[in-house]
Each structure stands twice: as C-alpha cells, then as structure tokens.
Copies of this chain bind each other. A is one copy, B any other.
Amino acid sequence: MPASYAYLGPEGTFTEVALRTLPEAATRELIPYVSVQSALDAVRAGEAEAAFVPIENSVEGGITTTLDELVAGTPLTIYREVLLSITFALLVRPGTRLSEIKTVTAHPAAQPQVRNWLKKHLPDVVWESAASNADGARLVQEGRYDAAFAGEFAAARYGLEALETGIHDAENAQTRFVLVGRPARPAAPTGADKTSIVVWQRDDHPGGLRDLLGEFATRGVNLMLLQSRPTGAGIGNYCFCIDAEGHISDRRVAETLMGLKRVCLQVRFLGSYPRADVGPAEVREPLPGTSDDEFVSAADWVARCQDGRF
C-alpha cells in the first residue's frame, strides 16, 4: 500500500495545517488534490492510503460535499478526526494599505466567517470567490485581486503580508477534519471515542425519527451530530448522518447499531475513532445500567433464565 495521504489542496490551506498535527502524517507523503471527491477517489482507487478532508465547521455545519461522498459510493471508513480553530488574516501585496483595497477574494466557506468584519472595515469592497483560500492568496500575488482572506501561514508562501490577523465573526470558529481510508477493523477504543453512521429510514410516519433516536436513548448513547442529507429522490427524502459518543466495541453502542440494523432500511457504518475534543479523563460516566459490565451481566442473567437456572 502506498505510504501517502491525499488531502484537499492546494498547499497552504487550513486542511494541510490540520493534517500536519497528526503524528502519522510525518511519515507519509502528503499529496494535495483539487477536490474532496478526487481525494477520496484516490483512496478508493488505491492510489493513496488515506485522505484528509474537512467534514464539519462550527459556522456552516456539516460540509455537504464530504458527507455526500461518505453516504454514497464505495464504502470508506473514518480513522481519525482533528479539530482546528479557524481565524483569518487579510493578506495583501507588501505595502498595500487598507484604504487601497477595492477587491477581495477567498473560498466561499470563508465568507460567513468574515462578513461582519468586511461590513465594518471594507463596506464597499467587491467580493469574488476563489477555488480555495490558498488559491485566493495566489491570485493576490498575481495582482488579480487586492486582498485575500486566508490563514496567516499562507502569507510567506505567496510573498504577501498580513494587514490584519485574528479575523473571525464567531467566537470558537472551528473546523473538524477526518482521515478517511478503506474499510478496516476499527482501532481499539481509547475511552473517548466517537462512532459515525448513516441511516436510511424504512418509511415516513409520525414518530419514525423519534423511534429511530430511541434506539440510542434506550441504551444511554448520546448523539454528537445529526445531519440530514437528501437522498436525491426529491424534496423531503433524507437520510441522516449521525455521530454518537462511544466505540463500536462498547456494548451499548454495538447493541444500538444492532437495533438500527433491525428497524432501518439501511445502515452504513463509517467508523469508530478517537474524539479530538476531549480525552478519556473528561468523558462522562455511562448512564446507570449502560456500562459494559452491566450489559454482560444482564446477558448472563437472561442466558441463565433460558437455561432454567434463575
């Protein structure tokens, strides 16, 4: 297997910075791809060991391109997640003053995060979207635009200077990235894990989604993300991308997945992997009656009853 990771490029984006926080990235060749789809296709085709792509951010919510790729097509698995705080710098050619900026560019996803700053400091500026924040910086270098919003780290690479740093409309602006590979046995639980799945409901009736979520609640499994995605079969037809606390080897998570498999039209397992937001020491205790030990002794008790040994 090639020792390379594909990632959403180009170089000098937040994605690359996030990827380099993973220790295993140091021993791999990191190859930028032009889109989430092409990075994931490289994994599916066996050209890369894994792909690193954004999946959720705290301003825009789930990154739909990535979710839709994981929902459909050849199954892939999430191995790792990374959280990165996002603040923007306003990059200009050296010497440019704020009052000289007439045009500004960045990836469309940056716009909601800098909108208020722009309204206050550059109300009359013309915004043009770029293919990525790094690409926007390149276009400023080439003189096509006056300024670009990008990570401060992109300034040096493109011979620009940061006229302003720390720009973000929302406090706690974060993006969540995942390392995605071909299906394999999940890594052992760490004590602070997350399990991602996609579910398709069997039919549409009052209480259908409530019953589905009851599979989690009954076993004391907390939800961390519930994002509806259209199935493509017309308005109102959705499947659900769900992140739940815990690891598929936890009894309460395994039994929840079995319950969903029984009652849903289809369930796709996307992986169990370590949580990036907390360590094992910060994970809350399972609800009373939902620990592994309690699942095991309850199973033993039923077996004894079935055996006439109650």
Query: Which A residues are within 8 Å of any B CB, using their own CB?
Result: 56-62, 64-65, 68, 83, 108, 112, 129, 170-172, 174, 176, 204-211, 213-214, 216-217, 220-230, 232-238, 277, 287
Contacts and interface: CB of A to CB of B under 8 A. Distances in A.
A209 B213 contact: yes
A252 to B, nearest CB: 9
Given A61-B228, A209-B223, A235 B83 contact: yes
B64 A61 contact: yes
A224 B206 contact: no
Contact of A236 (B108, B225, B236): B225
Contacts of A277: 235-236
A286 B233 CA distance: 25
- Counting every copy of the chain, the complex holds 2
B64 A232 contact: no
- Scoring A58, A171, A204, A220 by chain B CB atoms within 10 A of each residue's CB, the highest score goes to A58
A59 B67 CA distance: 12
Contacts of A211: 217
Given A59-B230, A64-B60, A237-B58, A206 B287 contact: yes
A210 B213 contact: yes
Contact of A235 (B129, B176, B206): B176
A234 B108 contact: no
A58 B230 contact: yes
Nearest to A115: B37
Among all A-B residue pairs, the 7 with the closest Cβ atoms: A207-B217, A172-B234, A210-B213, A170-B232, A210-B217, A206-B222, A61-B230
24 contacts: A56-B235, A57-B230, A57-B235, A58-B230, A58-B232, A61-B64, A61-B228, A170-B232, A171-B232, A172-B233, A172-B234, A176-B235, A204-B222, A206-B217, A206-B220, A206-B222, A207-B213, A208-B223, A209-B213, A211-B217, A213-B213, A225-B238, A228-B228, A236-B277
A59 B232 contact: yes
